[in-house]
């Protein structure tokens, strides 16, 4: 599986959103590349294991959320997505609510579409 399509990326984004919403660590484990690098709005670098642990420990809880895929750009065998999420939840018992914009890089790894890089910011209200 080297050819990447917008349909496949859309399906993967939707799977990722549902897995995040329900803290489904098994699905997240399948969708995130083992050497994922993600950058938070504060500049902190997150790894796949850090993300999975946040869901395992319930230190990150999404209570309500909706997403919209704003753009999917295919560049060779890589897809770049921009997704907007409106979410309400808690991070380490601290309430968090707002509109967020995600930038993700998707690629087939071992015949499975995975996020290999990401960053996100909170948008002003």
pTM of the model: 0.92
User: What is the total residue count of the chain?
Assistant: 125
In this prediction, residues 67-90 reach a mean pLDDT of 95
pLDDT band per the 50, 70, 90 thresholds, residue 24: very high
CB-count burial class (<10 Å; 0-12, 13-18, 19+) for 82:
middle
- pLDDT value at position 1? 53
Which of 29 and 2 is assigned the larger pLDDT? 29
Second CATH level (architecture) for the domain 6-122 = Roll (3.10)
- pLDDT value at position 2? 61
- pLDDT value at position 90? 87
Q: Which long-range contacts (CB under 8 A, 24 or more apart) does 97-106 make?
A: 98/122, 98/123, 98/125, 99/123, 99/125, 101/70, 104/13, 104/80, 105/78, 105/79, 105/80, 106/4, 106/9, 106/12, 106/78, 106/79, 106/80, 106/81
Return the percentage of the chain with pLDDT > 90, whole number. Answer: 82
């Amino acid at each position: 599986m080297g050819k990447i399509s917008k349909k496949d990326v859309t399906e993967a984004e939707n799977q990722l959103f549902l897995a995040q919403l329900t803290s489904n660590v098994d699905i997240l484990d399948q969708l995130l590349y083992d050497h994922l690098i993600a950058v938070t709005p504060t500049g902190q670098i997150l790894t796949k294991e850090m993300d999975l642990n946040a869901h395992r420990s319930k230190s990150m809880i999404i209570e309500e959320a909706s997403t919209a895929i704003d753009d999917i750009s295919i560049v060779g065998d890589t897809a770049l997505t921009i997704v907007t999420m409106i979410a309400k939840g808690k991070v380490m018992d601290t309430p968090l609510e707002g509109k967020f914009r995600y930038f993700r890089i998707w690629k087939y790894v071992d015949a499975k579409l995975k996020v290999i890089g990401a960053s996100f910011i909170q948008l002003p209200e």
